Chains A and B, each alone.
Chain A
Amino acid sequence: AQKVTQAQTEISVVEKEDVTLDCVYETRDTTYYLFWYKQPPSGELVFLIRRNSFDEQNEISGRYSWNFQKSTSSFNFTITASQVVDSAVYFCAQGGSEKLVFGKGTKLTVNP
């Protein structure tokens, strides 16, 4: 069965600290996709990244980076030099032959 676990319910950091949000998934599919979404306090869901299971290269986009490790079924998200505007709930999701499954989210608070 599919499952996405975001073990960190809440994280609090001080501005400029680096922070890593963990995501562990379970699936029987050999082809699948992984996603991260951001939900700021205003409530909308913002797409951040989509990665397919055959592409294990890490990705960097500005202060954001993603580490995909198939061996440990993890797709972790790192924010470098965090800023107050990064405060949000972040959701990891996995989709394949069945449905798109979301984790329960990690609430990140970046304090000035």
Chain B
Amino acid sequence: NAGVTQTPKFRVLKTGQSMTLLCAQDMNHEYMYWYRQDPGMGLRLIHYSVGEGTTAKGEVPDGYNVSRLKKQNFLLGLESAAPSQTSVYFCASSYGATGESTDTQYFGPGTRLTVL
């Protein structure tokens, strides 16, 4: 099992460019999440999904969109990147037994994004 994988690992964008981060999990988990991690801010939830075809906003959703067309994949899109979106992005997944805030979440290796 690969667990949770993220593509790409690193990316540099110019302000205004768009990109999509891909998250894939092979654990047959129902729930998937996108977080950003910034120095001194801990982890903050951007969007999450409790099943294929569903998405919901987290704590910091502005400037991001997501899609969950297949159960194993969760895409995070930046339509017009801004320097404030420079961060490390983590994807996570969980089984879906108890709830999106009480399940054990398993994390991917992260994507380091820099917006110039």
Which residues of A are interface residues toward B (Cβ below 8 A)?
A: 32-33, 35, 37, 43-47, 50, 91, 95-100, 102-105
Contacts and interface: CB of A to CB of B under 8 A. Distances in A.
A4 B98 CA distance: 21
5 contacts: A33-B98, A44-B109, A45-B110, A95-B99, A104-B42
Given A95-B102, A96-B102, A100-B100, A44 B42 contact: no
Contacts, number: 51
Given A95-B102, A96-B102, A99-B101, A45 B42 contact: no
A59 to B, nearest CB: 14
B90 interface: yes
A43 B110 contact: yes
Nearest to A2: B101
A105 B98 CA distance: 25
Given A91-B42, A99-B59, A102-B43, A35 B104 contact: yes
A100 B42 contact: no
B42 A50 contact: no
A50 B58 contact: no
